[in-house]
Amino acid sequence: MTTDTKPQTETRTFQMLIDGQWVGAKSGETFERINPANGSLLGTFPYGGNDDVDVAVDAARRVFDEGKWSEAPAKQRHDVLRKVAEKMRAEMPQLGNLLAQEVGKPIGMAMAEISMAADVYEYYAGVTLDLKGEAITQFVPDAVGLTVHEPVGVVGVITPWNFPVLLLSWKLAPALAAGCTVVAKPAQLTSATTIELGRIIQEAGAPDGAMNVVTGSGSKIGQYMAEHPKIDKIAFTGSTEVGKTVMQAASSNVKKISLELGGKSPNIIFADANIDAAVAGAFFGIYLNSGQVCQAGSRLPVHESVKDEFMEKLLGFTKTVKMGDPLDPTTTMGPVVDQNQLATVERYVAVGNDEGAKLIVGGSRPEGNGLENGFFYEPTIFDGVVNDMTIAQEEIFGPVLSVLTFKDMDEALRIANDSMYGLAAAVWTKDLNTALKMAKGIKAGTVWVNAYHQAGMPFMPYGGYKQSGTGRELGRQGLEEYMETKAIQIKLN
Ligand code: NAP
Ligand code: MG
């Protein structure tokens, strides 16, 4: 695959996709996004208002009720979703380039995100051809029961900026596969790639109004969508704080909701682990996407007997990080997404120092090579962390790792579960008993054994225990979130 490593030279003016048309905000207002690596202007976007949302929702409602998409033959929805995947792959260099610039993630990572997202459309294209219910014929002799699954209706999709294409696709692909119609609102920081996805879905043959994209403020139009009486479901990924607001707003018409929220995931290293593999997993677990990953392995409990060896190797790895322009293929870590995120990281590092954790690497902004023009922050490790410290409890969402020590499995499990979050966890061990006892005992939606971020099975259900969310994305369960179940009971005479 070739990569497109030329920075965008012209500022693009983006529009919203509403009912098959490209439009600005009715108010005429716009907002801007800068490239977080160098401060240059990337694009201008419509600052949509509630009136724009209403037009989009009415279009999605109309198309849904007409049955053009919701009752289209499964093969038609399959073909559109497959074509989306094909187009994404064909446009990967340009999409990857745009994604790298709007988030600040290295180009290779951006291309990988596009590729993983294309896989999601392909997967749900297949699922579309295999939608079915059940027939219950032998419970009593004179009745037949049928369970049928029907699309929920109009879905409001609200997404964050860290994986704007992948997390969007986890929602769009199953929603469209189910026969739902969509109004999507991306984070203001990363609206460009969502608009491009809207175009691709439209070009792939979705009827006008089945896929709409509105851009603007989360606290204004995002909140309005969550309250909207004509939206049947909200699929949201973002912070736990905003997730709670969305949950409350959605109660107005008892919307279905799925929420993927924050995390403080433990990555637990046992004494018998393959240390080299675990070090690589710890490194990737925290520094992917500059630590701005909901499931980041941001807590690292290491068994006391291997701690010294482990830390020496981890420090070695950390020193190989090359920060720079995300479009430079040799860059391994980009900036954080904006000034606010940078300030949050700096604040947590100060808190870590104040609470007595031991800063062993990083802890400041890099200088030289133009890095001061972007929101860069050094990969940072605190050792000597205990689990009740703020930096072990709160999500930092930056390249900051908290290292803890444990003596035995009970203590490791206690640390793992002492959190308001329960999104993900990993256990590194060669012992089957340790692996399974930990996997069963940890209260989290995903547990990896000897892997972090993925073990090669991308369509397993994904979601959180506790305050990490509700509902599941991906897999068959990810589709069910977009479907109602109807029971049909037939009396035979
Ligand atoms: P965020 O502030 O919660 O925003 C997420 C989305 O919600 C954005 O599109 C935002 O729009 C919108 N929004 C803001 N206020 C809203 C409201 N009152 N009603 C409806 N929508 C509203 O999160 P973020 O800053 O983008 O991302 C960082 C957080 O997301 C982290 O805490 C991270 O853990 C979490 N996250 C979780 C997952 C997961 O899968 N569990 C994945 C990625 C990120 P604007 O940005 O335009 O304001
Ligand atoms: Mg935010």
DSSP codes, 260-283: E-----BEEE-TTS-HHHHHHHHH
**240 domain residue, yes or no:** yes
Q: Give yes or no: residues 197 and 230 share one domain.
A: yes
Residue 229's pLDDT is 98
Rounded alpha-carbon distances, angstroms, from residue 228 to 56, 155, 169:
12, 11, 22
Residue 363's domain comprises 267-458
Q: Give yes or no: residues 303 and 206 share one domain.
A: no
Q: Give yes or no: residues 273 and 195 share one domain.
A: no
What angle is formed at CA 379 by the lines to CA 377 and CA 382, rounded to 5 degrees? Answer: 115
Convert the pLDDT of each residue in 320-330 to its tens digit. Answer: 999 999 999 99
Convert the pLDDT of each residue in 376-424 to its tens digit. Answer: 999 999 999 999 999 999 999 999 999 999 999 999 999 999 999 999 9
With tokens 């962390």, the residue in question is 385
Q: What CATH number does the domain containing 26 carry?
A: 3.40.605.10
Taking residue 384's Cβ as centre, other Cβ atoms within 10 Å add up to 15
Q: Give yes or no: residues 305 and 413 share one domain.
A: yes
Taking residue 67's Cβ as centre, other Cβ atoms within 10 Å add up to 10
| CA of 249 relative to ligand 2 center, distance in Å | 17
Q: Give yes or no: residues 297 and 346 share one domain.
A: yes
Q: Residue of the nearest CA to atom 40 in ligand 1?
A: 260
Ligand 1 atom, smallest distance to 468 CA: 41
Nearest one of 58, 9, 29, 294 to 188, comparing CA atoms: 29
CA pair distance 261, 146, nearest whole angstrom: 35
**466 domain residue, yes or no:** no
Q: Give yes or no: residues 95 and 195 share one domain.
A: yes
**344 domain residue, yes or no:** yes
| CA of 116 relative to ligand 1 center, distance in Å | 21
Q: Give yes or no: residues 126 and 213 share one domain.
A: yes
What residues act catalytically? Answer: 260, 294
Q: Give yes or no: residues 206 and 285 share one domain.
A: no
Rounded alpha-carbon distances, angstroms, from residue 125 to 179, 211, 316, 466, 485:
12, 16, 44, 31, 21
CA pair distance 69, 67, nearest whole angstrom: 5
224 phi and psi angles, rounded to 5 deg: -60, -40
Band of residue 8 on the pLDDT scale cut at 50, 70, 90: low
pTM (global) more than 0.75: yes
Convert the pLDDT of each residue in 27-36 to its tens digit. Answer: 999 999 999 9
Q: How many alpha carbons fall within 13 Å on the CB side of residue 466?
A: 17
| Residues contacting 264, CB < 8 A, separation 6+ | 298, 299, 392, 393, 394, 395, 419, 420, 421
Report residue 386 as tokens: 């205990």
Q: Is the pLDDT of residue 61 over 60?
A: yes
Q: Is the pLDDT of residue 9 over 80?
A: no
Ligand 1 atom, smallest distance to 464 CA: 41
Contact 309, 370 (CB under 8 A): no
Q: Name the average pLDDT for the chain.
A: 97
Residue 11's pLDDT is 82
**5 domain residue, yes or no:** no
Count of structural domains within the chain: 2
Contact 377, 345 (CB under 8 A): yes
Percent of the chain with pLDDT over 70: 99
CA pair distance 47, 191, nearest whole angstrom: 11
Nearest one of 237, 86, 76, 93 to 168, comparing CA atoms: 237
Nearest ligand (C-alpha, residue 162):
1
Q: Is the pLDDT of residue 2 over 70?
A: no
Ligand 1 atom, smallest distance to 423 CA: 41
Provide the edge-to-edge strand list for the sheet that holds 233-237. Answer: 21-23, 16-18, 211-213, 181-185, 154-158, 233-237, 256-260, 469-470
List pocket residues of ligand 1, CB cut-off 6 Å.
Answer: 158-162, 167, 185-188, 217-219, 222-223, 226, 237-239, 242, 245-246, 260-263, 294, 395, 397, 423, 469
CA pair distance 417, 442, nearest whole angstrom: 6
3-state secondary structure 331-349: CCECCCCCHHHHHHHHHHH
Q: What CATH number does the domain containing 447 carry?
A: 3.40.309.10
